[in-house]
Structures are given as C-alpha cells and as structure tokens.
C-alpha cells in the first residue's frame, strides 16, 4: 500500500468505486477524507454523462462526502469539448440526460432534430423506439455517431443496468456505422484528466472497477492501476483479459487501511 499512498495524484472512478446508485460503498468516505487530509491532488473522472459536476457534488454531499466541483470531470464534458474542437458551432441530436445536453450547450453546440451534424448518445432512462428511429434516420442522412462512453453496464444498488455502449448498439447495427466513444479508455479523456490534476503520469494512480475502461486507460497512459472489486469486476475478472492491473483491492478504502 505504501507505493500507492506515496502518489501525488489520484484519478478515481465513481460508479462502482464510490457508490452504487444512491448507496455509498464501504471505505469511500474514509478514502476521500484521507485525500483531503494528506493534501493529495484528486479527480473523479467518470464515464457517466447524466449529471453535471455540480450535481455530482450534490450527490456526494447527500451521501456524506463534500468536495468542490473542480474535482469532477465527466464524459459529457469530454464529449462537448471534443465536438467543439472538431466542428465549432455544430449541431446535435442528443439521446441523453440534462448533464450531457447542458455540457453541449455550454460548448456552443445547438440541439437539432431536423438535420444534425452529430447524433450523440449518453446514459439515459429516456430511451425508446422513437429516438432510436430518429437517430438511425439522421445517420443515414450523413450525421456522425458519437457515444459519451463505451460502458455496456452500469452498477446500481439493485443490480446492473444498461449503459451507453448498450444503448448505442441498436443504432450501430441498423446503420452499419460504428460510434466514436469519447470517454475512458479514450486517451483524450485521460490526457485532460492529467492536465486537470496537474500531475505527471508516474506520480498518479487510477482507481476503477472496470478492466476494459479504467484499467486499460491507466495502462495505455502509463499510470499505475488499482482495480477494486466493489463494482462490475470480481476476483476472476482480470484473468479474462490479456492485461492486468498493478493492484487488486476489495474496496477503495483498503488503500488507507495500513
């Protein structure tokens, strides 16, 4: 644990690491208290696109953890930044929640349900045949398909729920077009995370519950990786992949147990 706790900066996932839905996970509050007490640099880098940093802060406050908005960066913000750089002033048809819509608005991207430049899909509970059909029609007319993140599942206190990767799939299959995913493990999001953290990769650890997003993102960014088994992964999951995390822990709280 000493090698992990010597790090200056920490990139930490949220779903499956800090909470499941509205349930705080064991050790999460103590870990965040330790980060603040030790004056560590830390960033919650989440593939969730539903909520803004302000809403994420409020959610943690309801769970008994208080951190400033500057400690959050979401796939919605990353997607908005990507589109604004690729095509300034573009328009989008969005299947997603207010956190994604507002991030796009703030980046100068307008909503368009007639002839959008992009179809953007994020985590949402408002998913139906009509918006799938519209998305398919726009893509056949030339719109580009972008997903906020490739996660297919989202851990909740009641079990697993479909996430963006699963919601994008019917559109990909129907149109024959593959989505471009902006969230982890995309290096764009990881580079932004390191810049916001203001730490070098060798001084940073990434903590997550997913081998195919958090852990591979850390490996490809030369950041030490910590897999926690409090989310979608269990002790057998690493054996299913051709790469391994540097550390495997039951919960994020185990980092500060010794």
How far, in Å, CA of 133 to CA of 220, rounded?
A: 36
What are the φ/ψ torsions at residue 216 (nearest 5 degrees)? -65, -35
Using CA atoms, how far apart are residues 4 and 148, in angstroms rounded to an integer?
29
Q: Whole-angstrom Cα distance, residue 245 to residue 22?
A: 27
- Beta-carbon contacts of residue 157 (< 8 Å; ≥ 6 apart): 20, 21, 22, 23
To the query of whether residue 13 is one of the catalytic residues in this protein, the response is yes
What is the pairing mode between strands 23-24 and 19-20? antiparallel
| C-alpha 221, offset from chain centre | 16
Cα separation, 13 vs 156, in Å, equals: 14
Catalytic positions, written as ranges: 13, 15
């Amino acid at each position: 644990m000493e090698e992990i706790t010597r790090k200056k900066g920490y990139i930490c996932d949220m779903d499956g690491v800090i909470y499941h839905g509205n349930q705080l996970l064991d050790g999460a509050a103590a870990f965040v208290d330790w980060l603040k007490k030790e004056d560590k640099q830390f960033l919650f880098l989440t593939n969730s696109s539903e909520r803004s940093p302000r809403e994420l802060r409020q959610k943690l406050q309801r769970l008994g953890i208080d951190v400033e908005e500057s400690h959050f960066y979401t796939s919605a913000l990353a997607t908005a930044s990507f589109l604004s750089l690729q095509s300034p002033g573009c328009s989008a048809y969005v299947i997603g929640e207010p956190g994604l819509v507002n991030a796009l608005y703030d980046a100068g991207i307008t909503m368009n349900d007639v002839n959008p430049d992009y179809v953007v899909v994020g985590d949402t509970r408002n998913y139906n045949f009509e918006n799938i059909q519209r998305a398919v029609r726009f893509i056949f007319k030339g719109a580009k398909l972008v997903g906020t993140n490739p996660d297919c599942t989202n851990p909740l206190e009641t079990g697993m729920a479909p996430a963006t990767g699963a919601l994008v799939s019917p559109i990909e299959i129907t149109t024959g077009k593959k989505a471009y995913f902006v969230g982890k493990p995309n290096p764009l999001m990881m580079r932004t995370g390191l810049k916001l953290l203001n730490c070098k990769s060798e001084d940073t650890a990434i903590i997550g519950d997913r081998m195919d997003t958090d852990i591979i993102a850390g490996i490809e960014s030369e950041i030490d990786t910590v897999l926690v088994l409090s989310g979608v992964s269990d002790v057998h999951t690493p054996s299913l992949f051709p790469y391994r995390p540097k550390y495997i822990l039951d919960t994020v709280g185990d980092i500060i147990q010794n």
